[in-house]
Amino acid sequence: MAHLMRSTPYMVHTTFQYGGAQGKRHRLREGMMWEDAPEYYAGPDFLTYELDLPRALVYPNGGTVGSDGTLPFDKRATVEQHFALVHHQLAQVRNGLALAKATGRILILPRLVCGLDRWWAPHSGIIPGSAARLPLLDCPADHVLDVERMGKVEPLLREHSFLCNPRTPASVRGSVVRLAGTPPDLRGGDTSPAAAAAAAASGRSRPISAAAASREACGSGASASGR
């Protein structure tokens, strides 16, 4: 609602989320409204990647895309199309976590996209009575990841807005090593340390970006590729 009204809230209630206390904390971190200890932002080492988002998955039913990247409600995704979009992204998150583990780094999640909203009861695509627009270009991580069951997520991952957060030191935000691509054997499912060795050669104490720095996504919403 604050995004739609282009206003800054003075109070936030973390309701309608799906990860218990951990989910609430992560949701506030995504909004850069949760202040962690300095070491949370300083390191040790991070990894991020550019999310592959084919346009055909984000906008499977065509329609005129608005300036905010959303569609008319009658062009929303079906349940099957929503899951196809989410599963495509989850496979990349899985590989990102494997690569981060193999290289001794913490994964910075990408900005996820959901075709439909999430709710505890049957709905037509958005929470009844809400003003949400589809697709959700800022889909909260707790919509698709069980952060509560993951337990203590801090050793594993950071929120998508991490490199946009002014609490993150400039030494971290401004020191990014870019890799041209991901090793082919990782795309095939090999998550062994040997398969990720090439990524580890880029140095320590700097975020590795597997394609492009996620600092470029500090605006609102993700973007789909032309495929």
* Residue 8 confidence class, pLDDT cut points 50, 70, 90: confident
The alpha carbons of the chain give a radius of gyration, in whole angstroms, of 18
* Residue 123 confidence class, pLDDT cut points 50, 70, 90: very high
Write the single-letter amino acid at 41: Y
Q: What's the whole-model pTM score?
A: 0.82
- What pLDDT is recorded for position 17? 85
Sign of the dihedral through C-alpha 170, 200, 40, 50: positive
Residue 158 near residue 108, CB atoms below 8 Å? yes
147-176: burial string, b at 16+ Cβ within 10 Å, e else: bbeeeebeeebbbbbbbbbeebeeebbeeb
Q: What is the mean pLDDT of residues 4-32?
A: 87
Rounded Cα distance between 103 and 52, Å, is 21
Among 1-15, 23-37, 137-151, 210-224, the minimum mean pLDDT is found in 210-224
Q: To the nearest 10°, the Cα dihedral for 224, 156, 94, 22?
A: -70
Whether pLDDT at 169 is above 90: yes
Express each pLDDT in 51-92 by its tens digit: 999 999 999 999 999 999 999 999 999 999 999 999 999 999
Residue 192 or residue 22, greater confidence: 22
* Residue 199 confidence class, pLDDT cut points 50, 70, 90: very low
Across the chain, the runs of DSSP E, i.e. the strands, are 46-48, 106-108, 112-114, 136-139, 157-158, 177-178, 208-209
* Residue 181 confidence class, pLDDT cut points 50, 70, 90: low
Q: Report the chain's mean pLDDT, rounded to a whole number.
A: 84
Whether pLDDT at 4 is above 80: no
Rounded Cα distance between 146 and 150, Å, is 6
Residues 6 or more apart in contact with residue 36 via CB below 8 angstroms: 29, 167
Q: Is the peptide bond before 193 cis (omega within 30 degrees of 0)?
A: no
